[in-house]
A = this chain, B = another copy of it.
């Protein structure tokens, strides 16, 4: 079986309102939306995406929530595995960067072509 990157999994599809989504496409897209569908992950992604330089250090993200460090690490992993965040280790610190391509692909899929 060929494994697609998350971005490839979404870029394949025309907007929801244009033609019925196939079962295969729906099963590829749903995990990305699932990764987004959590208040903490939404805020994490927004923090990273809106941060200066488009990237943020985990050390800063931990302090932004009243949650344990493992929990934040878990959410970042989910976003990373969904293709929404890129991960880079620099020395002791880890930086996450938002994937504009993945977000744009999702937005295109959801957007209403009639409006």
Query: What is A's interface to B at a CB cutoff of 8 Å?
Result: 16-23, 26-27, 29-31, 33-34, 36-40, 42-43, 45-47, 49-50, 54, 98, 100-101, 103-104, 106-108, 110-112, 114-115
Contact = CB atoms under 8 A, between A and B. Distances in A.
A16 to B, nearest CB: 4
Copies in the complex: 2
Give 9 closest A-B pairs by Cβ, nearest first: A33-B37, A17-B49, A107-B111, A21-B46, A34-B37, A26-B39, A100-B112, A16-B46, A37-B37
A43 B21 contact: yes
A36 B37 CA distance: 8
A46 B17 contact: yes
B115 A104 contact: yes
